[in-house]
Amino acid sequence: MSIVKKTSKFLSYILRHHPETIGLHLDSEGWADVDELLQKAAEQGRDIDRALLLDAVANNDKKRFALSEDGRKIRAQQGHSTGQVAIDYPPQEPPEVLYHGTADRFWPSIREQGLLAKSRHHVHLSGDFDTAVKVGQRHGKVMVLKVLAQKMYQDGHRFYLSGNHVWLADHVPPQYIVVEDGSE
């Protein structure tokens, strides 16, 4: 694995899940001070300099991280599990449908409960089918679900769009989920 990729994985772990493992403070919007992060990482024997951090941010395949305008702060754009963070993306009107990729073994439970955020803060949805396939493949035999997002929205459910264009919802009740057979 390249050093840039390793750095991205480290940043995901720290900025989304476990900032406390290096004693880093995130504010409620998920921002960490870049200098502090580099210093705390160095204390743990992680040799990350500013150039490497900027490289990991700029070249991340899913644009997982964002820098503040002045470049002094960094945060993960979505996918958090840490209780220290509650990013307040403004609610947005979603398109007619959104997609969620999962593994087919989860279907009996999803059919009963709908889509739950599980360990993350939100259910993650995508605007395109292919992204959902990739997300689902991480879990096993992929199954793509179509979410009737516009109908859900009309019924009063909220949607948010993260800075890296991942659609987020608190919960997707089962009546808005249709199994997608890929024929579209």
Under the phi-then-psi rule, with left for phi > 0, alpha for psi from -120 to 50, and beta for the rest, what region is 124?
Answer: beta
Rg (CA), the chain: 18
Query: Which CB, 64 or 75, lies closer to ligand HQG?
Result: 64
Task: Confirm or reject binding of residue 121 to ligand HQG (CB under 6 A).
Answer: no
> Minimum distance between the CB of residue 135 and ligand HQG, rounded to whole angstroms?
4
Binding segment (CB under 6 A) for ligand HQG, from list 43-51, 98-106, 150-158, 176-184: 98-106
> Minimum distance between the CB of residue 43 and ligand HQG, rounded to whole angstroms?
26
Could you say which residues in the range 1-60 bind ligand HQG, by CB under 6 A? none
Task: Confirm or reject binding of residue 135 to ligand HQG (CB under 6 A).
Answer: yes
Task: Confirm or reject binding of residue 120 to ligand HQG (CB under 6 A).
Answer: yes
Q: DSSP E strands: which ranges in the chain?
A: 32-33, 65-67, 73-76, 98-103, 123-125, 142-147, 159-161, 167-169, 177-180
Rounded to 5°, the CA angle 132-91-113 comes to 50
The string over 11-20, giving b where at least 16 C-beta atoms fall within 10 Å of a residue's C-beta and e elsewhere, is: bbebbbbebe
Task: Confirm or reject binding of residue 151 to ligand HQG (CB under 6 A).
Answer: no
Full 3-state SS string of 20-46: HHHCCCCCCCCCEEHHHHHHHHHHCCC
The Cβ of residue 33 has, within 10 Å, a number of other Cβ atoms equal to 17
Could you say which residues in the range 58-97 bind ligand HQG, by CB under 6 A? 62, 64, 79
Instruction: Tell me which of 40, 124, 177, 180 binds ligand HQG, using CB under 6 A.
Output: 124
> Minimum distance between the CB of residue 111 and ligand HQG, rounded to whole angstroms?
8
Residue numbers of the site for ligand HQG (CB under 6 A)?
62, 64, 79, 102-103, 106, 109-110, 113, 115-116, 118-120, 124, 135, 139, 166
